[in-house]
Amino acid sequence: MESVDVLDRRGMAYFDVHGGVASYTGKAEGWHQGGGAMMPVNNVDLPEMLFVRWQSLVEPQTYKATLPIPPWVRDEMVRPERVFCHGSQKWKDDYRRMISLGLAPGGIVKVWVGGPCLPSKEVGRYQAKIESLGPDQGRSEGRYAWPDLEPASKAYIEQNGIPYGSW
């Protein structure tokens, strides 16, 4: 993940609110339901738009996407919902205050909104564009974060291919 930028509903822009290595589900096909590598973003109002840029190392390719956050998602984020929280074994009022991004080869992005004790709801599925500047917006002279896949990953892809249609 190269960067995630946020434009909130007040029109305030927040740059590089998240970056680093994405988490993995341990399976090559399909999606899991939210969660993963997370980073709290403080002092930001409800999101209007997200901008994400990432490197798909299996292709290799760099993608960028603009993700509009529909009004119903912001409504979900401020509406409390009574739920039994399995972590604390108590009933509580919880909020869907987390937005999760699923990033896949081929430039596919899936977005969910969820909460610690509430199930995630799918926001949408988007097609990213190829970042014409390449990795690190051209500052790395075309070098990706990891130049080579691990041998086990490379062998898996050579044997099974990339399951593009599963996302």
pLDDT for 102-142, tens place per residue?
888 999 999 999 998 999 999 999 999 999 988 888 888 78
What pairs with residue 108 in β-bridges? Answer: 104, 127
User: What pLDDT is attached to residue 90?
Assistant: 94
The CA–CA distances, whole Å, from 88 to 80, 85, 91, 95, 120 equal 17, 6, 8, 15, 19
Is pLDDT of 21 > 70?
Answer: no
C-alpha 112/C-alpha 166 separation (Å) is: 17
Domain boundaries, the chain: 3-166
Percent of the chain at pLDDT exceeding 70: 86
User: What pLDDT is attached to residue 17?
Assistant: 86
* pLDDT confidence bin for 160, thresholds 50/70/90: confident
DSSP 23: P
Residue 62 tokens, joined: 């760099």
User: What pLDDT is attached to residue 163?
Assistant: 83
User: What pLDDT is attached to residue 36?
Assistant: 59
Q: What is the mean pLDDT of residues 59-76?
A: 95
Percent of the chain at pLDDT exceeding 90: 49
Q: What is the mean pLDDT of residues 52-75?
A: 94
User: What pLDDT is attached to residue 14?
Assistant: 92
10 Å CB burial of residue 3 (0-12, 13-18, 19+) is: middle
10 Å CB burial of residue 121 (0-12, 13-18, 19+) is: middle
Is pLDDT of 54 > 60?
Answer: yes
Strands of the 3-8 sheet, one edge to the other: 13-18, 3-8, 47-56, 61-68, 129-130
